[in-house]
């Protein structure tokens, strides 16, 4: 912008104060068109093509090589353990084969002593890249996780519990046409949970561990799912325009006769409205979760839909509200700050409920805040946000976009 103003200034100076002798030898322009052409020629002498800065060049190079999710020989891995882990980082090693198949292993550790080990394999792309098949083996350990009483009126005080999860799974992802995405998969999952404990480090700790379904249980599941989406966004990781409509159905079959089998429905609608050539974006979304246990069974509390944390109702603590059903409405105002940096204002309203019919617009919990989002052309890389609710102020430090 400085170069443009400088060029315009020079143009005006040259026009108003011509070089001595030049005015005598050059004939005055005979038409307005000739005058405009002369000014354009003068401006061209003092302008230069835009040259990206160092950081911008590095980001563009990463994107040209496949983006920040591309598997490389050795690279750092951030987050991805479980919501509430805090800052987490570790090494990742991988390889991309000539046929396009990839393999990767990573180990991630957080400041709250959460741990993740994961191996991942994806076969070569099929149907000109429109079909991907992959699988993973994954284990995480989440000690001293927060647990609040179930329900929309749960008190702010909390207890703690430990959770371990082991998973072996595979899935297929299809992209038959530009705006259609399909997915389906199956896996085996095993959970181990403690009986809970009083959060002695908390200023407001529950005097007893609340009676929660699935506490101190070790259910094993065969998990299958199917997903369909209409997605007109530029990219799932970062977009300034488009629409998303998605629904997914999950089935969790508990083994060993455990009374924890259930179904879950996830649905989301998102609309991105750009103005001023995308320099300002209004991001409006609604999301719904609903679980249905088999007759005589229960949904374990640690697998119930939850609100609170870095993605939904950001002004509340992680897993602040849990129940069998949940909904959230989100509005975000994003504006261009500079290349690869957006400012964000957001407002959220949501609730959990024991019955699906109770998901209405009454007594919604609310959260609002401001933040900075660092991004590449297709991926959100870092979120720094300050969120407020009736329970106080929270700082969010995330390495991914809000999950959709």
Q: Residue 29: which pLDDT band, with cuts at 50, 70 and 90?
A: very low
Q: What are the tens digits of pLDDT across the range 92-131?
A: 999 999 999 999 999 999 999 999 999 999 999 999 999 9
The answer on 11 and 156 residing in a single domain is: no
Helix axes 32-44, 2-16, angle to 10 degrees: 130
Domain contains 247: yes
Token pair 């899935």 is at which residue? 171
Q: What is d(CA 115, CA 143) in angstroms, rounded to the nearest whole number?
A: 9
Segment 322-342 mean pLDDT:
96
Do residue 244 and residue 346 come from a single domain?
yes
pLDDT on residue 16:
38
133 in the same domain as 40: no
Cα separation, 326 vs 304, whole angstroms: 9
Token pair of 270 as six digits: 């998102």
- Residue 138 placed within a domain: yes
The reported pLDDT for the residue numbered 262 is 98
Instruction: List the domain range (segments joined by +) for residue 46.
Output: 1-15+29-50
Give the pLDDT score at 195.
84
Please give the pLDDT value at position 210. Answer: 83
Q: Of the ranges 7-11, 58-62, 85-89, which one carries the lowest mean pLDDT score? A: 7-11
Contact between 332 and 282 under an 8 Å Cβ cutoff? The reply is: yes
Residue 58: inside a domain, yes or no? Answer: no
Residue 24 in any domain: the answer is no
- Cα-Cα-Cα-Cα torsion 133, 264, 241, 360, nearest 10 degrees, comes to 180
Per-residue confidence at 366, pLDDT binned at 50, 70, 90?
Answer: very high
Mean pLDDT of the residues in the chain? 86
If asked whether residues 316 and 240 sit together in one domain, one would say yes
**Per-residue pLDDT tens digits for 297-330:** 999 999 999 999 989 999 999 999 999 999 999 9
Average pLDDT over residues 371-390: 94
Shared-domain flag, residues 354 and 280: yes
Number of domains in the chain: 2
Predicted confidence at residue 64, as pLDDT, reads 57
| Residue 79 domain-assigned (yes or no) | no
CATH code (residue 199): 2.40.160.50
In a domain, 196, yes or no: yes
Percentage above 90 pLDDT, the chain: 66
Say yes or no: 181 and 37 in one domain.
no
Q: Are residues 189 and 310 in the same domain?
A: yes
Residue 2 burial (10 A CB sphere; 0-12, 13-18, 19+): exposed
- pLDDT given for residue 110 in this prediction: 95
* CA gap 64, 147 in Å, rounded: 43
Say yes or no: 321 and 212 in one domain. Answer: yes
Do 261 and 137 lie in one domain? The reply is yes
Verify that 45 and 140 share a domain, yes or no.
no
Q: How far is it, in rounded angstroms, from Cα 166 to Cα 163?
A: 10
The reply to whether 291 falls in a domain is: yes
pLDDT of residue 8: 40
- State residue 238 phi and psi, 5-degree precision: -160, 130
Residues contacting 76, CB < 8 A, separation 6+: 89, 90, 91, 92
Q: Are 287 and 314 in contact (CB under 8 A)?
A: no
Give yes or no for a contact between 153 and 131, defined as CB atoms under 8 angstroms apart.
Answer: no
Q: Which of the two residues, 206 and 39, has the higher pLDDT score?
A: 206
The answer on 43 and 154 residing in a single domain is no
Name which residue leads in pLDDT, 17 or 209. 209
pLDDT band at 4 (very low <50, low <70, confident <90, very high): very low
User: Residue 350: is its pLDDT beyond 60?
Assistant: yes
Sign of CA dihedral 233, 235, 236, 241: negative
Residue 63 domain flag: no
Residue 49: per-residue pLDDT: 59
């Amino acid at each position: 912008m400085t170069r443009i103003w400088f060029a315009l200034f020079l143009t005006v100076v040259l026009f108003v104060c011509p070089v001595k002798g030049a005015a005598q030898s050059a004939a005055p322009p005979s038409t307005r068109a000739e005058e405009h052409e002369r000014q354009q020629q003068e401006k061209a002498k003092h302008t230069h093509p835009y040259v990206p800065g160092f950081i911008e060049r590095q980001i563009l190079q990463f994107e040209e090589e496949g983006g920040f999710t591309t598997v490389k020989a050795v690279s750092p891995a951030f987050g991805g353990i479980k919501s509430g882990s805090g800052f987490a980082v570790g090494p990742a090693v991988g390889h991309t084969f000539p046929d396009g198949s990839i393999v990767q292993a990573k180990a991630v550790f957080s400041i709250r002593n959460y741990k993740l080990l994961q191996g991942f394999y994806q076969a070569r792309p099929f149907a000109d890249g429109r079909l991907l098949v992959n699988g993973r083996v994954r284990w995480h350990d989440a000690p001293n996780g927060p647990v609040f009483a179930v329900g929309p009126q749960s008190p702010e005080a909390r207890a703690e519990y430990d959770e371990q999860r082991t998973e072996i799974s595979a899935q297929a992802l299809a992209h038959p046409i530009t705006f259609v995405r399909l997915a389906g998969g199956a896996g085996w999952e095993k959970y181990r949970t403690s009986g809970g404990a009083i959060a002695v480090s908390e200023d407001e700790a529950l005097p007893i561990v609340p009676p929660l379904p699935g506490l101190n249980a070790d259910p094993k599941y065969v998990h299958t799912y199917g997903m369909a989406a209409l997605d007109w966004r530029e990219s799932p990781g970062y977009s300034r325009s488009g629409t998303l409509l998605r629904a997914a159905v999950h089935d969790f079959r508990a083994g060993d006769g455990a009374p924890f089998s259930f179904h879950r429905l996830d649905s989301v609608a998102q609309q991105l409205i750009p103005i001023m050539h995308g320099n300002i974006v209004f991001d409006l979304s609604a999301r719904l979760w609903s679980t249905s246990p088999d007759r005589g069974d229960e949904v374990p509390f640690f697998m119930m839909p939850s609100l609170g944390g870095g993605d939904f109702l950001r002004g509340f603590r992680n897993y602040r509200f849990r129940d069998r059903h949940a909904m959230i409405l989100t509005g975000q105002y994003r504006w261009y700050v500079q290349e690869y940096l957006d400012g964000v204002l957001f407002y959220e309203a949501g609730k959990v409920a024991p019955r699906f019919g109770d998901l209405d617009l009454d007594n919604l919990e609310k959260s609002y805040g401001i933040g900075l989002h660092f991004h590449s052309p297709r991926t959100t890389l870092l979120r720094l946000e300050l969120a407020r609710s009736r329970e106080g102020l929270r700082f969010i430090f995330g390495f991914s976009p809000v999950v959709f």
